[in-house]
Amino acid sequence: MNDLSLRQDILDELEFQPNIDAVHIGVAVDKGVVTLTGHVTNYAQKIAAERAVKSVKGVRAIAEEIEVRFPSDFVVADDTIASRTLDVISWNTEVPDDRIKVRVQAGWVTLEGEVDWQFQKEATERAVRKLSGVKGVTNLLTLKPRVNAADVQRRIEDALKRNAALEAHGIHVKVTGGTVKLEGKVHLWLERQAAERAAWSVPGVYKVEDKLTIG
């Protein structure tokens, strides 16, 4: 697929998504590398745009430079955002809220602390993204290590084989402590994400280094 066709597919996908106002989003493509520019009205749209582009066949990499611009008369104070962040974390039964600290500066939320599982780290960030006034999220939450490297490697390889979306024979897994390195080649960005999710789903994994190439 050439860059012009890929760019059109991306524009069509952005227009198709009901939760994205794509009118102010610019798209440039160079050899499968996509650059997104422009602005949206909230952080959730920014994340949704990136996710939509990743789903398009032919996308090899993304440089995401979309700004979050609120209307000029819309201002949410940092202390209000911090309070709302703590509230949504405490309401989420999946997340140990007593171990999470929140910092907010100029609308940008930083999450710090320790959780037991990757899904808790992701659930916390997802909840915060949707809050009014949030311009961005830096997720510094860490995972509690609990590991047997050989067992972790076996479980990940089994999970990859069970996943219908993946051709597991092209993926190689290396485990050192609680760190997993994925190497090899997949055909689509979604396959790469599926491999990452399979690795994160195994207890004891607290870091995934995704070295998979797309092609």
Q: Which of 47, 68, 89 is the last residue of a domain?
A: 68
Domain match, 25 and 48 both: yes
Position 103: which residue type?
A: R
Domain match, 175 and 199 both: yes
Q: What is the pLDDT of residues 105-124, one digit of tens each?
A: 989 999 999 888 888 999 99
Domain match, 61 and 96 both: no
Domain span including residue 207: 149-214
- 207 Ramachandran zone, left/alpha/beta (phi>0; psi -120 to 50): beta
Q: Which residues contact 20 (CB under 8 A, 6 or more apart)?
A: 14, 40, 45, 48, 49, 52
User: pLDDT band for position 97 (50/70/90)?
Assistant: confident
Residue 171 sits in a domain of what CATH number?
A: 3.30.1340.30
Residue 29 has what pLDDT?
94
Q: Which of 17, 39, 68 is the last residue of a domain?
A: 68
State how far the Cα of 101 lies from the Cα of 6, in Å rounded to an integer.
Answer: 41
How would you classify the pairing of strands 171-176 and 179-186? antiparallel
Residue 88 has what pLDDT?
92
Q: Which of 68, 100, 123 is the last residue of a domain?
A: 68
Residue 146 has what pLDDT?
63
Q: What is the pLDDT of residues 62-90, one digit of tens each?
A: 999 999 988 776 788 999 999 999 999 99
Domain match, 111 and 95 both: yes
Copy the structure tokens of residue 185: 């080649």
Name 103's bridge partners: 110
- Chain-wide mean pLDDT for the chain? 87
Domain match, 139 and 156 both: no
Residue 139 has what pLDDT?
95
170 within some domain: yes
Total domains in the fold of the chain? 3
- Asked if residue 181 lies in contact with residue 211, where contact means CB atoms within 8 angstroms, the answer is yes
Checking if the pLDDT of 144 tops 70, the result is yes
Helix (H) or strand (E) holding 202: none
State how far the Cα of 24 lies from the Cα of 97, in Å rounded to an integer.
Answer: 36
Residue 185 has what pLDDT?
85
State how far the Cα of 154 lies from the Cα of 180, in Å rounded to an integer.
Answer: 12
- Asked if residue 14 lies in contact with residue 53, where contact means CB atoms within 8 angstroms, the answer is yes
At CB < 8 A and 24+ separation, what contacts does 94-98 make?
94/119, 94/120, 94/123, 95/120, 95/123, 95/124, 95/127, 96/120
Q: What is the pLDDT of residues 145-198, one digit of tens each?
A: 665 667 777 877 887 777 766 676 788 888 887 788 989 888 878 888 888 888
pLDDT > 90: what percent of the chain? Answer: 42
- Asked if residue 178 lies in contact with residue 209, where contact means CB atoms within 8 angstroms, the answer is no
